[in-house]
Each structure stands twice: as structure tokens, then as C-alpha cells.
Amino acid sequence: MLDIKFIRDNIDQVKSALGKKGFQFNEAEFQALDEARKSALTRAQTLQAEKKKASKQIGALIGQGMSPEDAKAQVMGSIDSDITEAEQQAKQAEQSLRDLLMSIPNVPQAAVPFGADENDNLEVLVWGEPTAFSFTAKDHVDLGEPLGLSFDQGALVAGSRFAAMSGAMAKLHRALAQFMLDVHSEEHGYEETYVPYLVNRQALEGTGQLPKFEEDLFRIPQAQGDKDFYLIPTAEVPVTNLMRDAVYDGPLPVKKVAHTPCFRSEAGSYGRDTRGMIRQHQFDKVELVQFVRAEQSDAALEELTGHAETILQKLKLPYRKVLLCGGDLGFSAARTYDLEVWLPGQQKYREISSCSTFGDYQARRMQARWRNPETGKPELLHTLNGSGLAVGRTLVAVLENYQQEDGSIVVPEVLRPYMRGLEVIRP
């Protein structure tokens, strides 16, 4: 959530910056709600002052021999009911303004390029040469089915956009997740973290998925009680919310890594990537989250993105790094790098990680703070996160980049210890 004072003081700048995201900031609505809130609060405060003054007058009348009931009736009149009405109006105005602020995306940083969609993203780096073969490359669907990757079985037990794995495929999938966790926790300094896969509405509001993106979530009504759960769309939600409504007194940065399943309805992706594992309702991801002080956040984004890149480099998977343009930038993000891995079966780069800095946008929604030891005062944290990596898409990339003409898959060297020394997966 944006700072209301920042909006008031920089309204033209905010309008211009949000235009990068294609968001039309309604200045008139904001100013009307802001003025209504201030007016209602002022009226309530004025009435409270009148009540305090009236209380002294009541005491004087009682001292002159008037009964307390008559003195109160003569002096107070409708002040109590007027105060109640004014406080209710102030509360409603406050909520209306908060609802508006919750619907406004984060302001993109100046470094974010203008652009409408992914076609306007800026290529920053290319690592490795696109894998080439002396034979016609297959995609992961044709490669995986003889090896234990089944979309028919996924559809049988759940429906479309689900997969089932068995044998070597299931082991390879697990090996990738364990490898990523080990690298990030042992080499990059992240604390391995286990979190719930179900979260409450407040958690999703804190990281920015709600209220705007409810149709993309799986909601789970509770059998008892009036509060629903939601399946997590990413570990970003529960891990970032570990700092919610708290003042952290320890050293920064705080770096956490978590491996979880993720669940997305893909409501806006009808007809897109219907073949294979690229766009599933359920998939696994290893998520990196950092909490830093304001002056660290830009450097932390470069570091975090580099940590995700390390996984691709250790797996020797060709990829490119792009800086997202405003039109492709997420709702809560101030700046984002996407890592796109080369898929020979599609002959194109596809996203495998998205690494973002949010400034204090999420922290303000969550009231996630740290105590600055130099001042002793609480300050909003800056939050960052990124995929390190999406496990299913990494499996896709391994299958397609390490395929052999007979349909077998060479196991990347760094994964062989996790596969009990297995070097080749054969049909």
C-alpha cells in the first residue's frame, strides 16, 4: 500500500509512474475520500471538545441546585448522538479511503522501462548458448510420458492442468527441490523455512494478492466459522507474513527459503499453455524471501536474482535475464527481473523465475517493521522475493535440454548425488 502522505505530496508523480503500469489513478476520487475522512475526523474531534466543555457547565448548574438529569439535558442536548454519528462517519470514510489505497498498485521505480507487455521487456543478460541437437528435439510431454510423467493420470484424479509423476520422474522432481534448498541454505545464507499451505484473507491482503486477484485463488470455505482459507499461490504469502504486525529487533537482512506446492486457478489464462507443465493449477516452487532496510533493497534485488541464476548455472541450463517493463510488472512490484530458460522443444525462452523488490509497499499493508538501533524507532521493512526456482518448470528444462535421441535423459551432474548416482533416465 502506498503512503497516503506520499500520494498527497507527489500526486502528479504518482499518476505518471502508475501510468507505466497502465493504471489510471483517479485523483478526484482520492481527494474526495481524503477530504471526507479529514472532515469527519475534525467534526468528531470538535464535538468531543464541546462535550468536555459542556461537562464543566453541568457541574456548575448542579452546584447552583439543579438536578444532574436536568443539568445534563439542558447542556448536552444531542451532543452524544452527534458524536456517535460523527465517529461512525469518520470510520466509514477511513475504510473507504483504505479500500481505495488497497486497490492502487505499487509505483514502479524509475529504472523500469515503458512498455505494454512482455514483448517490451528489456534483455539484460544471456547466459549459455541455446541447446542444439543433431536430431529433432522433443518437448517435455513426449519425453516425459515414457519416463513416468503422466498428464492423463493427473486429469483422472483431479482434472486438466494437473500432472502425476512416478519412478524416476518423481525422484528427479524431488531431487531438484532438495538441490535448490541445499544451495540456498548452505551457500547463500537463507534459513530453510516450513510454512502453512493454507492462509487467511489478511495474509493475502498483506502481500497484495487480495483484493484485486481473488479470481486467481482457490478459496476453501471452512465447515465451521465464517472465515475462509485460501490455498497459497506462492510461498511468498506465508513467508512474508511471518513478519506481519511485528517489530523485528534483530539484525538485517533476514533471508528465508521455503519449498511448497503452489495453487493457482489460472482464471485469466484460458487456452494458454494447455499442453504440459508450463501452466498448472498445482506446482512446486522454491521461494526466496528477504527482509531488508530501505537502503539495502536495490542491492538485495541484484543479490537475490543472482542466487536464482546460480541454480540455472549449476544445472548448465541456458537462460536470459530480462527487466520487466511497466505493462508486464506485477501489482505489488516496484521492479522485477524475470529469468527465462531455453526450451529446445519450444525453441524459445520461457519464464522460470521472477525476482522482485516491493519497497515498503507490502510492509505497510502488513505493518511489518524493524527497530532501527540508531534511532530506537520502528521503521517499515523493505521486502523482496523470487523463485529459486519453479521446480516443475526446471524439470521441463532438464528434460528438454538433457534429452538424447533415444528418448533417455542425462541426469545433470549436480543432481546425481540426489539420484543415488543415477546418470541416465531411460524409458
User: What is the C-alpha to C-alpha distance for residues 177 and 315, in angstroms, rounded to an integer?
Assistant: 13
Mark whether 356 is an active-site residue: no
Q: Please indicate if the annotation marks 215 as binding a ligand.
A: no
Q: Please indicate if the annotation marks 385 as binding a ligand.
A: yes
For the CA atoms of 246, 247, 253, 258, the dihedral, rounded to the nearest 10 degrees, stands at -10
The x, y and z cell numbers of residue 242, run together, are: 511471518
| Annotated active-site residue in 37, 161, 335, 393 | 393
Mark whether 279 is an active-site residue: yes
Q: Please indicate if the annotation marks 106 as binding a ligand.
A: no
Q: Please indicate if the annotation marks 423 as binding a ligand.
A: no
Mark whether 354 is an active-site residue: yes
Mark whether 351 is an active-site residue: yes
| Annotated active-site residue in 145, 192, 214, 351 | 351
Q: Please indicate if the annotation marks 81 as binding a ligand.
A: no
| Annotated active-site residue in 297, 332, 354, 356 | 354
| Annotated active-site residue in 43, 279, 293, 416 | 279
Q: Please indicate if the annotation marks 401 as binding a ligand.
A: no
Q: Please indicate if the annotation marks 266 as binding a ligand.
A: yes
- Give the residue carrying C-alpha cell 526456482: 389
Q: Please indicate if the annotation marks 351 as binding a ligand.
A: yes
Q: Please indicate if the annotation marks 232 as binding a ligand.
A: no
Mark whether 37 is an active-site residue: no
Q: Three-state SS string across the chain, please?
A: CCCHHHHHHCHHHHHHHHHCCCCCCCHHHHHHHHHHHHHHHHHHHHHHHHHHHHHHHHHHHHHCCCCHHHHHHHHHCCHHHHHHHHHHHHHHHHHHHHHHHHCCCCCCCCCCCCCCCHHHCEEEEEECCCCCCCCCCCCHHHHHHHHCEEHHHHHHHCCCCCCEECCHHHHHHHHHHHHHHHHHHHCCCCEECCCCCEECHHHHHHHCCCCCCHHHCCEECCCCCCCCEEECCCCHHHHHHHHCCEEECCCCCEEEEEEEEEECCCCCCCCCCCCCCCCCCEEEEEEEEEEECHHHHHHHHHHHHHHHHHHHHHCCCCEEEEECCHHHCCCCCCEEEEEEEEECCCCEEEEEEEEEECCCHHHHHHCEEEECCCCCCEEECEEEEEEEEEHHHHHHHHHHHCECCCCCEECCHHHHHHHCCCCEECC
Q: Please indicate if the annotation marks 287 as binding a ligand.
A: yes
Active site (catalytic) residues: 264, 279, 351, 354, 393
Q: Extract the annotated binding site for ATP.
A: 264-266, 351-354
Q: Extract the annotated binding site for L-serine.
A: 234-236, 264, 287, 385, 387
Q: Extract the annotated binding site.
A: 234-236, 264-266, 287, 351-354, 385, 387
